[in-house]
């Protein structure tokens, strides 16, 4: 009995580790095999394994007709899982290698703009990404005026421009609070979009659970703890020259 149990245990372990090593060391398979494995991994939510299967498909079958579709599937899967940088990586790969006509390129560029837009739940945290998204959205509207995605991109662009204006206002307020008037003036003088009626724009309200830690963009909850004095490290501090001159005259007297 003991020998039988030992044999069964050994066989089970061999099957288990053999199956694992086979799964990890697979190679020289048909393109359809890697493609089906990739899709199955995505359906299970295992994108790391799907990335590996995609790499095998690309490495062993670089000319496969399944590769363009697989690249777009990976881009959409990562976008759905809010992994926007990886989504852009696959879209760049698709545009560089597989976008053979204007329709393919248009679709990929639209998805790139969408990925950037979705990656900005809090615009005040990434000024550079907002600017990149605005540039790409404007280029899309100029290059594809008859696109089915034109008005979707236009809507995203409008929201991005509003977010940029609010960000500039928040940065200017920050510089005013830390006594940097020249920097504040620079951001306040940034030209707004002429076609937007800013008097009708309502500022977005920061949720209370974020406002506790971040403020609302105009002030912070801990502002009362900061002394209301002029910064001693600011090179942009502006003093009343008349007041300074009067002090100098009084001292000489």
Measure the CA–CA gap between 185 and 27, rounded to whole angstroms: 62
pLDDT at 146 over 70: yes
The terminus-to-terminus CA distance of the chain in angstroms comes to: 113
pLDDT band at 200 (very low <50, low <70, confident <90, very high): low
pLDDT in tens, 88-111: 999 999 999 998 889 999 999 999
pLDDT in tens, 22-65: 454 687 899 999 999 999 999 999 999 999 999 999 999 999 99
pLDDT at 7 over 80: no
- Considering the entire predicted model, what is its pTM? 0.67
């Amino acid at each position: 009995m003991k020998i039988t149990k030992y044999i069964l245990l050994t066989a089970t372990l061999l099957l288990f580790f053999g199956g694992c090593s086979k799964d990890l060391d697979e190679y020289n398979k048909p393109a359809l095999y890697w493609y089906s494995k990739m899709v199955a991994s995505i359906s299970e939510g295992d994108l790391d394994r799907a990335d590996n299967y995609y790499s095998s498909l690309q490495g062993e079958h670089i000319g496969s007709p399944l590769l363009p579709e697989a690249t777009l599937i990976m881009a959409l899967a990562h976008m759905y899982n809010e992994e926007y940088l990886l989504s852009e990586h696959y879209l760049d790969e698709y545009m560089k290698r597989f976008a053979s006509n204007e329709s393919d390129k248009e679709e990929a560029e639209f998805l790139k703009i969408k990925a950037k837009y979705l990656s900005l739940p809090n615009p005040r945290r990434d000024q550079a990404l907002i600017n990149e998204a605005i540039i790409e959205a404007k280029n899309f509207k100029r290059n594809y005026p008859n696109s089915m995605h034109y008005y979707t991109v236009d809507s995203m662009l409008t929201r991005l421009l509003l977010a940029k204006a609010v960000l500039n206002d928040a940065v200017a307020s920050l510089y005013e609070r830390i006594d940097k008037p020249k920097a504040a003036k620079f951001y306040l003088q940034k030209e707004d979009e002429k076609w937007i009626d800013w008097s009708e724009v309502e500022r977005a309200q920061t949720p209370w659970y974020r406002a506790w830690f971040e403020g609302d963009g105009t002030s912070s909850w801990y502002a009362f703890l900061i002394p209301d004095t002029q910064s001693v490290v600011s090179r942009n501090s502006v003093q009343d020259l008349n007041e300074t001159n009067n002090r100098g005259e009084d001292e000489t007297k």
